[in-house]
Amino acid sequence: MAVQRLVAVAVAVALLSLVLNNVAAFTSSWVLQHLEGGRKRSVGLWKMCPTGGERGQGEQRQCESLVWGSEYAGYQESRSTVKLQFDMMRACNLMATVALTVGQLIFLLGLMGLPFIMQESQWWEEAIAALFQLASFVLVIGLVTFYKIGPYTHLSYSCYLDIAACLLATVAAAMLIWNILHRRDDCLAPRIIIISRSLASPLHPRPDNDYVESPC
């Protein structure tokens, strides 16, 4: 029961990571770019919105949807670098979403007690841990691409939400991995052989099953 509670807590942490990862993906505040003429815009993975500070425009522009290969670079930023950063982060964000979602589904299917997915099976918890660790790994790869940004570009709150999602996925995977290794440590302990008194006596007959080796 304690093992199931630990797995449930890890899955709940991963669910929070999934929510933060999607919130970060669909908001427009990944980076804040300063442009020429005092203009500013907030750019996300799938949406770009102009912000305050625009001059010479009588009407405010609406937000625009972004697609793969968008090149909305800030002042003194390379378009190719920005394109690579956002395309990489989009791909990593989608991969992490799929991995976290599949991990949640495997957990739910295990609770249902299906014959091919059971909580007692060895691969059930290991598969969930591997998926959560994969999500953490790909998010790290995507976030690392933003280590170098333009001098007039600043990371915004959506990026920090994804950093939190990455940390939560790492914690969820670490909890499951610790639990798996803790169980295996019990199996790696020295085996105990229980010898009965009759086996130690030289005058007593010794049947074949007169000793018991402790199972793991």
pLDDT (tens digit per residue) in 103-122: 999 888 877 776 666 666 67
Across the range 95-109, mean pLDDT stands at: 91
pLDDT at residue 91 tops 60: yes
Task: Between 205 and 38, name the one with better pLDDT.
Answer: 38
Q: What is the pTM of this model?
A: 0.74
pLDDT at residue 55 tops 60: no
pLDDT at residue 133 tops 80: yes
Q: Which pLDDT belongs to residue 180? A: 82
Q: Which pLDDT belongs to residue 198? A: 52
pLDDT at residue 100 tops 90: yes
Q: Into how many domains does the chain fold?
A: 1
Q: Which pLDDT belongs to residue 40? A: 83
Q: Which pLDDT belongs to residue 18? A: 93
CA proximity to 68, closest of 51, 46, 36? 46
**The two three-digit tokens of residue 48, written as one number:** 């770009």
Using only C-alpha atoms, what is the Rg of the chain? 27
pLDDT at residue 68 tops 50: yes
pLDDT at residue 201 tops 70: no
Q: Which pLDDT belongs to residue 154? A: 83
CA proximity to 145, closest of 192, 71, 88? 88
Q: Which pLDDT belongs to residue 54? A: 47
Residue range(s) defining the domain that contains residue 127: 2-213
Domain harbouring 58, CATH code: 1.20.140.150
